[in-house]
Amino acid sequence: MAAELVTDPAIIEKVLQTVPQRPPFRYIDRILELSEDHIVGQYTYSKDEFFYPGHFPGHPVTPGVILLETMAQTGVVALGIYNAIKNGGSLNQISLFTDAEVEFAAMVLPGDTVTIKSQKIFLRRGKIRSKVDIYKQDGTLAASGTLSGMGVAL
């Protein structure tokens, strides 16, 4: 049985506001779908992101580590926050990345909008593991992997 989709915009907004990362290191603009088991989010990389001038001068490309962070903020942090809200867990935590195995498949360029799709593999003892894919606006797979993280009390 599929988990019920969240339709209340206030809950989606609460999840977004609870994600601890802030600009210039926040890589989730909106949540398109949300349930206990999955999340779909989007982010648009502005042409003036802080990392483009140095990666690579004259030919800017979004660094893989930034794509990984984008995947983690949606697929691990935001999904974990929603599960904490739904199940009465503490929001007085910070989500820490624990491990990842990611393959990169396509370049993401300045101005690109990406869609992040994540499916929860498990959530137990405060650790969440998710299968996360990131797609360019034309549907091209940019990266795919398995990411894990856990909430640590502040």
Please report, for the chain, the start and end positions of each structural domain, with discontinuous segments joined by +. 9-153
Residue 74, helix vs strand vs coil: helix
Q: How far apart are CA 117 and CA 18, in angstroms?
A: 19
Instruction: Return the number of other C-beta atoms located less than 10 Å from residue 34's C-beta.
Output: 22
Active site residue 38: no
pLDDT tens-place string over residues 57-79: 999 999 999 999 999 999 999 99
pTM of the full structure: 0.94
- Catalytic entry in 26, 55, 127, 131: 55
The residues facing 128 across adjacent strands are 123, 149
Give the lowest-confidence range in 42-51, 78-87, 104-113, 134-143.
Answer: 78-87
pLDDT tens-place string over residues 93-128: 777 889 999 999 999 999 999 999 999 999 998 899
Residues written for the chain: 154
Q: How far apart are CA 28 and CA 16, in angstroms?
A: 8
CATH 3.10.580.10 fits 9-153, yes or no: no
